[in-house]
Structures are given as structure tokens and as C-alpha cells.
Homo-oligomer: A and B are copies of this chain.
Amino acid sequence: MLRVGVIGTGMIGRDHIRRMTTVLAGVTVTAVTDVDVDTAKKVVEGLPGATLHATGEELIADPAVDAVVVCSWGPTHEQYVLASIAAGKPVFCEKPLATTQEACLRIVQAEVAAGRRLVQVGYMRRYDAAYRALKQVVDSGAIGAPLMMHCAHRNADVPAFYEKESAITDTAVHEIDMVRWMFGEEITAARVLIPRRSRNGGPLQDPLFLILEMAGGALVDVEISVNIRYGYDIRGEVVGEDGTAALGELSPVTVRTSRQVSTPVPADWRERFLRAYDGEIQEWIDSLAGGGTPVGPNAWDGYAAAVVSDAGVAALRSGDRVPVVLAARPDLYAAEAVLS
């Protein structure tokens, strides 16, 4: 039974606690902390035997904590991840790994110095059944070498605090991680094209069209539409030399009424990726059994996503093609380990 301490009891933190206490196997939540002490108190009341800590550092040091989950405010991620590494404890950090690429690189360096992989980052698409089936077809060679990928990331709407660059840093960052994993390659450049603006987006430039170049020459395009009203819709088609493979439709029911055959579209990412979140945490728990190493998105993945995201933001601002410049990849993250 893995004993987990959770830093941050906001929406996503509480959701992971619910998951670890009522859905998943082999895990118990033994410690909790949050800057908002009242919320944290309420949460801990629902967790028999769990300790409320005053700080993240205190929680990390708790001997009843085998592994740490970081769901706090983004700017605090770096310190808690570094503290976990320093304590030699596995840490699952919600995305982003840190809010700057420099901070991400410091985490990478700390982990390299520690000599073993302790960090996993919360990019959950790799755990989605449809993405996995897609990758399996691509990897099987059935469509030949992959040459392009067409993606669409569509939200019905976004909250008021969503900013111009959020389309890259919060939204497309999921595709950024996903295509590195799908192609097993780094991204080498980014470009953003600007379509006509939707009336639904207010002052936002919405939609955007992000174009990513892969190290092997493949081209990825991502439509980012975050106020498209009709629902939450994630689409992806890999174009190979001999055919294509796309995310399936996944509709549980087909209805014939009112002159239409219709299938439902999810309302939001919770509905669409619920199972992927479950799988992400369950596989993380399982990977740690007996002192094992996490196999999901690692610190290098978190760093690379940050660098590509920065390039995407620069491309959005300048209108130019912006190269992605990564530090040398440490041996700890050899290609086979990182991207497969």
C-alpha cells in the first residue's frame, strides 16, 4: 500500500484524493497540506488517519509519506519537486513541471545529480485508451512512417482568467507532450498562424493554428479553438506513407431523432479524460511498488514541453517560425526511456 502525501487541495488536488481513496487500488492518502488551511482541514477530516501538515516541506519529510503528489499553484511546483528529490521520494507533479523552462531544467539537473528518476509530470493523454490505440497502430507500421499529424483541441469555453498565451501554455501544451510521445521524437520548431477571430472569444485571438516540426521532419498541425460552444472535442489523425490512423469516435450511444443520427460530445475535459486520469495515477502507483521507477512523462518531458511552449508563445507574438533549442539530454533520459 503506497502512502501518499498531497500538496495542494484545490480542485485538482481534491480530485486526485478522491481518486486515490475511492477508485484506485494499492494506495492510501496519509498526509495533506495547502496554503488555504481551512480547505485542507476539511479535506483531512474526510481521510481517517491522515495528517494535516503546515507546509509542503514538512509533508515531504513525514516518514508516513512514501510518495508526493504536487497539485499546488504552478509557481510553487519547483520548490516542492526539488524538495522531494532532495528527500529521495518519488513525486508526481501536475503540469506544468514548473512555470519557466529554467526552473524545469533545474529540476532535471537535480534529478540527474540524485542519479535516479523520481519525478513524473501529469500529462495524462498518454494514458487515454484512444491515444494508446492510435500509437499502437502507428508503431505497428501499418500506415508506414508517420509524416504528418492533424490535431484539434476544442473547448466549449474557457474561464475569464484565460489569457492570449494560455492557448499555447495551458491548452496546446497537451498536444506538445502527446506528439513527442506519439512520434518518439523531439519538436524542433513552432509556428502560429492566426485565423479569423471568433465572436465567442471576446478579446482573445481564438482560434489559433499551431504548427510543430518534429526532429524527423514530420509536421504537426493543431487547431486550438477554445470557445467553440458545441463541446469538448479532441481529435488527432496521423498521416503515414501508406494510410492514416485517427482517434476513434468513442460514442457510447447513437440516437436517431428529429431527422438526425447523433452521438454525444463530451462537455469538458473531465468527462473526456476521466479514465486517463485514473490510469495515470494507477500506473504511477504500480510503477513505484517495491521501490520501482516511474515510467510516465518524466522531468525531461516536463522541461521539453516548457521549452516548446515558450517557442510557441514567441511564435504567437512574432508571427515567425521559432526554433526549439533544448539543452543536451542527460543519459538519465535516454530516448528509449523518455519517449516510448
Contacts and interface: CB of A to CB of B under 8 A. Distances in A.
Interface of A: 20-26, 129-130, 132-134, 136-137, 142-148, 150, 152, 193-200, 207, 209, 211, 214, 216-219, 221, 223, 225, 227-231, 233, 239, 241-265, 267, 282, 286
Contact of A223 (B150, B197, B241): B150
A191 B57 CA distance: 52
A338 to B, nearest CB: 21
B133 A253 contact: yes
A250 B247 contact: no
B253 A251 contact: no
Contact of A258 (B22, B241, B243, B259): B243
A252 to B, nearest CB: 4
B209 A221 contact: yes
A248 B251 contact: yes
Contact of A261 (B193, B197, B249): B249
16 contacts: A21-B26, A133-B252, A134-B253, A142-B255, A147-B198, A148-B196, A195-B217, A228-B244, A229-B242, A230-B257, A231-B259, A245-B253, A248-B252, A248-B254, A250-B251, A262-B263
A252 B128 CA distance: 9
A72 to B, nearest CB: 24
Contacts of A134: 252-253
B22 A241 contact: no
B132 A252 contact: yes
A246 B286 CA distance: 37
Given A242-B228, A250-B251, A257 B219 contact: no
A199 B144 contact: yes
A146 to B, nearest CB: 8
Most B-side CB within 10 Å, residue of A134, A148, A241: A241
Contacts of A256: 143, 230-231, 233, 243-246, 265
A134 B252 CA distance: 8
